[in-house]
Amino acid sequence: MTITAAADGSALNNPGPAGWSWYVNDDCWAAGGWKHATNNQGELKAVLELFRATAHVDDDVLVLCDSQYVINAVTMWMPGWKKKGWRKSDGKPVLNLELLKELDAAIAGRRYRFEWVKGHVGHALNEAADARARAVAEAYARGAAPNPGPGFPGAAPAVTRAAEVSAGPPSLF
């Protein structure tokens, strides 16, 4: 069986209040975010949390993603970065290192593939993930509690909102 999910991030003013979300259907999705982060951090976190939420099942995962950065980071650049001590080809440190290392660990041994979808053109799953990620960013902008969603059936509870907010986003390096 294959789990098909969209993953998306949103940051107001980039950086600014930020959200992430993965979405399978109206009964199976999750969202979170930070008071201040970047869109790329939200995009990476959405994919990371999707893999964490589905870690207890042995299904393939199809990630629908509108972020070329995330797709390329995971499928093309990460192996080279790891060989170079998490440095880019120019020798500079990789941005969003903490999230990338966590994502690398989360996908180890998993069967997955990414499919790029154009954002904001009516793709139902992508629009649903985008709306939830943006709603989280907007909630943080208002100082309100975001809706974390129902999660994935049988998954361990996700990081609590309070812990996520107090920790803030991972550092860029």
Active site residue 59: no
Active site residue 130: yes
Active-site hit among 26, 120, 122, 154: 120
Active site residue 102: no
Angle at 23 between CA 141 and CA 63, to 5 degrees: 115
| Residue 69: burial class (beta carbons within 10 Å; 0-12, 13-18, 19+) | middle
Contacts of 75 (CB under 8 A, 6+ apart): 114
Which DSSP category does 93 fall into? B
Active-site hit among 19, 33, 66, 102: 66
Active site residue 8: yes
Active-site hit among 130, 149, 151, 164: 130
Active-site hit among 19, 43, 49, 151: 43
3-state secondary structure of 149: coil
Active site residue 66: yes
Active site residue 90: no
Selection from 171, 172, 169 nearest residue 11 by Cα: 169
Which DSSP category does 158 fall into? P
Give exposure, 5-33, as e/b (b: 16+ Cβ within 10 Å): bbbbbbbbeebbbbbbbbbbeeebbbbbb
Active site residues: 8-9, 43, 66, 120, 130
